[in-house]
Amino acid sequence: MKQFAGKTAVITGAASGIGRGIAEWCVHEKVRVVLADMDEAALCAAGDELKALGAEVLCVPTDVSEREEIETLAQKAFDTFGGVHLLFNNAGVAAGGAPWEATWNDWEWVLGVNLWGVIHGVKAFTPRMMAQNTACHIVNTASCAGLMAGGSSAPYSVSKHAVVALSESLYLTLEQRRSLVKVSVLCPGMVRTNIPNAESHRPERLRDETRPVSATMQASRGTFEALIAAGMPPAQVAKIVFDAIRKEQFYILTEAKWMEAIRLRTERLMVMENPENPSAVLGTILKHA
Ligand SMILES: NC(=O)c1ccc[n+]([C@@H]2O[C@H](COP(=O)([O-])OP(=O)(O)OC[C@H]3O[C@@H](n4cnc5c(N)ncnc54)[C@H](O)[C@@H]3O)[C@@H](O)[C@H]2O)c1
């Protein structure tokens, strides 16, 4: 897609962080925006702020882990604006720990939002976008954690590897059918967002009364918060994303230092060397950040 003005974008997780940054960039490109988020108060506030900038905005409170809610989102977006040209399956949460320490609720919550949320978006929007027979683009937000081994947050890492696989599959099948719907997978490094407070979005039914927190989990949380605080601003990520859409670039990586970590992981894989402790890689990256 080269021309954005007058097109319509749907963004999930649009009330905060990367989604909010992408929504603002859409407005800058004169794109109409459909904002979806489960945090209704933050969603309304984001909608009002974008309207004040002169944007055409539709806010649809949506829990992406619920199939019917994404279906409603698609219906409302197409009914209101007559078409959707850009879809950002972006909503996500982070939680977990080592595979056996992450609770059943951690697994269900993180996979429900990060993986099923993207599957729901792909299933609801792709056929409708294909039927429009016009240039469209879908961007799924994964993470660098989807391209390298992650030890400290197993559910997150599993969900993001799966989003990369889903996106590659979507890209390849749409290319095979010569579709006008293009695909990218966004794998950011660290971005300065509210993701360390993701727990506040966890539904009541998936909360744990007594949640074991090991010393390892506590230490890796500290590293995570430090990396996020030193992260890239969401507006910069949004610019990188739009440049990639213009170039029909599938893999969107945002930072050289994270690409280096992915390269090291891939090199080990190619010679069948065992994985390196990811916290050692993170520590080295943090030291040189
Ligand atoms: N921040 C980073 O460093 C980073 C790095 C790599 C990937 N990501 C990914 O970027 C995406 C956006 O995260 P962010 O960092 O901007 O975090 P954020 O917490 O600032 O924003 C996430 C938004 O998603 C919403 N949300 C949470 N659960 C939802 C649900 N079930 N349905 C709908 N909305 C829901 C939240 O209300 C919030 O507004 C996520 O997929 C995350 O995994 C973030």
Q: Determine whether the shortest distance from the Cβ of 19 to ligand 1 is under 6 A.
A: yes
Tokens of 148: 């390298």
- Please report which helix (H) or strand (E) contains residue 61, including its range: strand 57-61
Beta bridge partners of 9: 33, 86
**Domains recognised in the chain with CATH numbers:** 8-287 (3.40.50.720)
Q: Which of 156, 224, 242, 258 is catalytic?
A: 156
Q: Whole-angstrom Cα distance, residue 217 to residue 37?
A: 28
Whether 171 is catalytic is no
- Look at phi and psi of residue 23 and say left if phi exceeds 0, alpha if psi is from -120 to 50, else beta: alpha
Whether the CA torsion 39, 204, 107, 276 is positive or negative: it is positive
Ligand 1 pocket test, candidate residues 24, 34, 37, 187, most atoms within 8 A of CB: 37
pLDDT at site 223: 83
* Helix and strand element counts for the chain (H, E): 10, 7
Structure tokens that stand for 101 in this block: 């320490």
Cβ neighbour number for residue 277 with a 10 Å cutoff = 11
| β-sheet with 181-187: strand ranges across | 57-61, 32-37, 8-12, 86-89, 136-141, 181-187, 251-253
Q: Work out which ligand 1 atom sits closest to the CA atom of 15.
A: 39
* Distance between Cα 266 and ligand 1 center (Å): 26
- Residue 189 sits at the vertex; the CA angle it makes with 185 and 192, to the nearest 5 degrees, is 115
Name the pTM for this structure.
Answer: 0.96
Asked if residue 201 has its Cβ within 6 Å of ligand 1, the reply is yes
69 lines ligand 1 (CB under 6 A): no
As averages over each run of 10 residues, the pLDDT of the chain (289 residues) reads 96 98 98 98 98 97 98 98 98 92 96 98 98 98 91 90 98 98 97 96 91 69 88 98 98 93 93 82 59
Q: What amino acid occupies position 223?
A: T
Distance set, CA 265 to CA 114, 146, 272, 278 (Å)? 23, 12, 10, 9
Atom 31 in ligand 1: which residue has the minimum CA distance? 63
- List beta partners, residue 33: 9, 57
Q: How many CB atoms lie within 10 A of CB 44?
A: 15
Q: Is residue 154 within 8 Å of 162, Cβ to Cβ?
A: no
CA distance 112 to 203: 11
Q: What letter does residue 232 receive in the DSSP assignment?
A: B
Q: What are phi and psi of 96, to 5 degrees?
A: 140, -130
Contact 86, 137 (CB under 8 A): yes
Q: Please tell me if the CB atom of residue 103 comes closer than 6 angstroms to any atom of ligand 1.
A: no
- CA 279/CA 256 separation, integer angstroms: 18
Q: How far is the CA of 52 from the centre of ligand 1 (A)?
A: 24
